[in-house]
Amino acid sequence: MRKRPIYKIGALLLSVILIACGTGTTDEATSDKINVLVTTPMLGDFVNEIGGENINLTILMPAEVDPHTYDPSPQDASKIADADIVFYVGLKYEPSALIKLVENTSNEAAVLVEVGEEINPIEFSEEGHKGHDDHDDEDGHDDEEGHDDHDDEDGHDDEEGHDDHDDEDGHDDEEGHDDHDDEDGHDDEEGHDDHDDEDGHDDEEGHDDHDDEDGHEGHGHGSEDPHFWFDPLRVAIAAELMINKLIELDPSNSEAYKTAGEAYISELNELDSTVSALIETVPSKNRKLITTHESLGYLEARYGVEVLTTIIPSLTSADEISPAQLVDVLDVIEDNDVKVLFIESEAPSVYAETIAAEANIRTVTGLWVETLRENQSYSDWLTENVELIVENLVDLP
């Protein structure tokens, strides 16, 4: 009769040992993964497509939050400190307080990667969009059909107006996508910054200077446009960068990163074709629009839509404009017979309704330009934005 408790105790001890062993294996497997931190949901979606289950991914900013005004929390510091690598947009996109926190808190071994500097960024224009009609930089943005031909040194010229995409891993797309021929692939005659240090930052400190004391630039940026996600082919450049950085940090999973990355880049090329086809359904005379602030420059450069002007000038640091600027916007609307004004969901201008009423034009809401919505993929985000633009331009008289 007394043997049963002994057997029960023995079984219980065995269960505890097995559970402990199992827990140890799980913790060890988890600890083997590299800790990847990104600042925005957009970057998070990119790197998740490549890293998948091989990484521990942390995204600082929640979905549907305007990255320009994000206020970092004390908890963010510990997340940054635990990261093995940090991807951030850069180009003065994130608030300066966050960038300073990243620089001061990151693990000594962590790699800080400013993605925006590596995707051949286009420049904002202080004069609005008057200079956006011609895209004649050495990447070949000059297309009679309104799409960019990218003629690289190897002579890849595409009649369809899409970019051939040739990278060092052999991503050569017969459909005519971007050719990106150097490892970082970016040299531009339009006056883009040369990046002379080994990380590509032409800055004595290696990072952007953010001069706002409170760390919030509002809608202000540097001279280069950070909203590269409106061009899937530039997202493909960012993906290549992420692939290479993950392989450098975690060579044991290099094949997994390459395979997933190549599949994702193929999806991005298909997304480019989808967006192009959607834009082409709009009569060329209707491919003109006005938005709240300058965020669609890459959509304009890639697909031939024309952003005539914005309510908030590109280099303005707050949602404030002068009466003269208001008059300029109204003049552009009248001169170009603009019918609709697109209002951005993350940061609608207080002047949008005033301008719309004064000019007697329709406002269109629901355009997301800065971030993903909850559980939304980048591909769905871009497709839905373009469909919103197209459906409001296609049938204009």
- 260 and 312 inside one domain: no
- 220 and 316 inside one domain: no
> Do residues 176 and 162 make contact, with C-beta atoms less than 8 angstroms apart?
yes
Q: What is the mean pLDDT of the chain?
A: 77
Note whether residue 178 is domain-resident: yes
From 217, 249, 272, the end of a domain falls on 272
* Beta carbons within 8 Å of 161's beta carbon, 6+ residues apart: 143, 145, 146, 147, 148, 149, 176, 276
Digit-coded pLDDT (tens) for 346-382 = 866 778 888 999 999 999 999 999 999 999 999 999 9
- 266 and 316 inside one domain: no
- 360 and 306 inside one domain: yes
**pLDDT on residue 318:** 53
**pLDDT on residue 168:** 44
- pTM assigned to the model: 0.72
Cα–Cα distance between 89 and 97 in angstroms, integer? 14
Note whether residue 58 is domain-resident: yes
285-295 b/e (C-beta count within 10 Å ≥ 16 → b): ebbbbbbbbbb
DSSP 293-354: ES--HHHHHHH--EEEEEEE-TT-SSS---HHHHHHHHHHHHHTT--EEEEESSS--TTHHH
β-bridge mates for residue 55, sequence order: 34
Torsion of the alpha carbons at 184, 188, 194 and 195, rounded to the nearest 10: -20
> Do residues 139 and 120 make contact, with C-beta atoms less than 8 angstroms apart?
yes
- 171 and 301 inside one domain: no
Q: How far is CA 232 from the centre of its chain?
A: 9
> Do residues 227 and 221 make contact, with C-beta atoms less than 8 angstroms apart?
no
- 247 and 112 inside one domain: yes
- 283 and 340 inside one domain: yes
Note whether residue 245 is domain-resident: yes
- 155 and 287 inside one domain: no
**pLDDT on residue 313:** 72
Cα–Cα distance between 301 and 307 in angstroms, integer? 10
Angle at 396 between CA 391 and CA 397, to 5 degrees: 160
Note whether residue 10 is domain-resident: no
**pLDDT on residue 125:** 63
* Beta carbons within 8 Å of 5's beta carbon, 6+ residues apart: none
For residue 185, give the nearest of 204, 205, 164 by alpha carbon. Answer: 164
Note whether residue 21 is domain-resident: no
CB atoms inside a 10 Å sphere around CB 252: 9
Cα–Cα distance between 26 and 40 in angstroms, integer? 28
Output the CA–CA distances (angstroms, integers) from residue 202 to 99, 174, 192, 393, in the order listed: 17, 35, 11, 41
Note whether residue 2 is domain-resident: no
From 272, 306, 333, the end of a domain falls on 272
- 65 and 178 inside one domain: yes
- 266 and 290 inside one domain: no
Positions in the chain whose pLDDT score sits under 50: 1-29, 127-219, 315-317
- 53 and 179 inside one domain: yes
β-bridge mates for residue 364, sequence order: 342
Cα–Cα distance between 341 and 352 in angstroms, integer? 8
Note whether residue 26 is domain-resident: no
For residue 123, give the nearest of 195, 222, 208, 224 by alpha carbon. Answer: 224
Number of domains in the chain: 2
CATH code, domain with 69: 3.40.50.1980
**Burial of 42 per CB tally in 10 Å (0-12, 13-18, 19+):** buried
> Do residues 337 and 285 make contact, with C-beta atoms less than 8 angstroms apart?
no
Report the number of secondary-structure helices (H) and strands (E) in the chain: 10, 8
**pLDDT on residue 56:** 98
From 272, 304, 330, the end of a domain falls on 272
Break the chain down into helix, strand, coil percent, rounded to 5: 45, 10, 45
Which residues form the domain of 337?
278-393
Residue 345 corresponds to which tokens in the numbers above?
């969901």
φ, ψ at 158 (rounded to 5°)? -115, 120
Which run of H or E residues covers position 91?
Answer: none
**pLDDT on residue 204:** 40
Note whether residue 139 is domain-resident: no
Cα–Cα distance between 209 and 225 in angstroms, integer? 15
- 254 and 306 inside one domain: no
